[in-house]
Amino acid sequence: MRRFRSRAAVVLLAGAISASACACSAGGSASGSAAALDGGVGTGGSARPTAGSSLSSSPSPVQSSSPSPTRPSGPPLLLDSLAPADRATVGVAMPVSVVFTHPVAAKARKAVEQHLKVSSSVPVTGAWHWFSDRRVDWRPEQMWPSGAHVTVDAALDGVGDGNGRYGTHDYHHSFTIGAAVKATVDVPGHSMKVYRNDALIRTMPIDAGSPSFPSWDGTMAVLDKARSVRMTSCSVGITCDPKNPEFYDLTLPWDVHLTYSGTYVHYSTGDPQPGHSYGSHGCVHLSLADAKWFYDYVKQGDPVTITGSPRGKAAGDNGYAAFNLSWSQWLANSATGAQTTSAA
């Protein structure tokens, strides 16, 4: 069995800030966070390594490999990423997200799914869902039970992708579901509530997206978080001219990342006392003290559910928004259908 090793990355994130509002729709960079930039918010295009996942320590793909009595000839079928990271503790909305280095043909997806096994100490019903020809996620029908221990076994040695590539080894990950921390954001009510195991822990004033730049609705699991994120007007296409009055280039603290398209829960210097207006370009603003508390409290996979925004739900592959799809929608892109996990 092969385990992925974690590898930190600093890559483009999404977000920007003006003198009076935070533009949270594209571009920027982060400090202390692994993340990825979504060039659009479609429903079937994401196949990037996901934030917080472990990147493959496998050798780079080669053009050909020698056949053996037990393995077909052809270049290797490899994983680009497998999330969550091995031995991680994650929230109840965290999917298992597998990204391949190369496309998997539709005709091979059933066989691939049959070699991707999810087990848990508490039996749950779940299924795989192909967001693209490279990304396939597994989620339970309902959110995970707290305390469950989960293992993922990708027995891909010798498995073909339908395009001439074959697996050369197996992968194994295990992770734990932590406390059921959930946050709800009421956009018109300018309020966020945080619950732990169904008990209300804290209520905080917020400002969300403006009518011109509304926040996403729906449930988005935390992708990752960063102590600071650089947000610029140039990265979102507003202006790159420092002489333009709309130009800005600022770094903001306590950023909890929700979508590839750039939704964060964070503090904004342009909206230091939220709770009374629509102060952002799609992000959720907290006060400085509340932003730090939220940053410290939440973990990858904790669900944040936003309601009352006119934008509609974030696409399921815009980060970890798997629970924005109904169960029937989820099963529609599964080759093997619903299954009950065996004991981990």
DSSP class of residue 107?
G
* Sheet of 249-257, strands arranged across: 29-31, 224-232, 249-257, 264-267, 284-286
Residue 65, pLDDT above cutoff 70 = no
What would the two tokens of residue 105 be?
């043909």
Q: What is the tens place of the pLDDT at every residue in 209-255?
A: 888 789 999 999 999 999 999 877 787 666 799 998 767 687 999 99
Nearest-angstrom CA–CA distance, 181 and 197 = 6
CATH 3.30.1360.30 fits 16-43+180-324, yes or no: no
Could you tell me the residue ranges of all domains in the chain?
16-43+180-324, 54-179
pLDDT at 231: 75
pLDDT tens-digit profile of 314-338? 999 999 999 999 999 999 999 999 9
Specify the pLDDT at position 38. 26
Is 138 a residue whose pLDDT tops 90?
yes
pLDDT mean across residues, the chain: 82
Confidence at residue 277, expressed as pLDDT on a 0 to 100 scale: 84
Provide the pLDDT for residue 70: 58
Which of the four pLDDT bands, split at 50, 70 and 90, describes residue 279? confident
Please give the average per-residue pLDDT across 193-210, as a whole number: 96
Instruction: State mean pLDDT over 77-83.
Output: 95
pLDDT band for 74, please (50, 70, 90 cuts). Answer: confident
Choice between 257 and 30, residue whose per-residue pLDDT is larger: 257
Taking residues 58-80, report their average pLDDT: 60
CATH value of 54-179 in 3.30.930.10, 3.40.190.10, 2.60.40.3710, 1.10.1760.20: 2.60.40.3710
Rounded Cα gap, residues 159 and 74, in angstroms: 11
pLDDT of 189 higher than 80 = yes
Task: Please choose, from the candidates 215, 265, 232, the residue with its C-alpha nearest in 3D space to the C-alpha of residue 29.
Answer: 232
pTM above 0.95, yes or no: no
CA distances in angstroms from 338 to 131, 171, 303, 317, 323, listed in the order given:
16, 22, 22, 19, 15
Q: What's the pLDDT score for residue 116?
A: 98
Kindly indicate the confidence band of residue 25, based on its pLDDT and cuts at 50, 70 and 90. very low
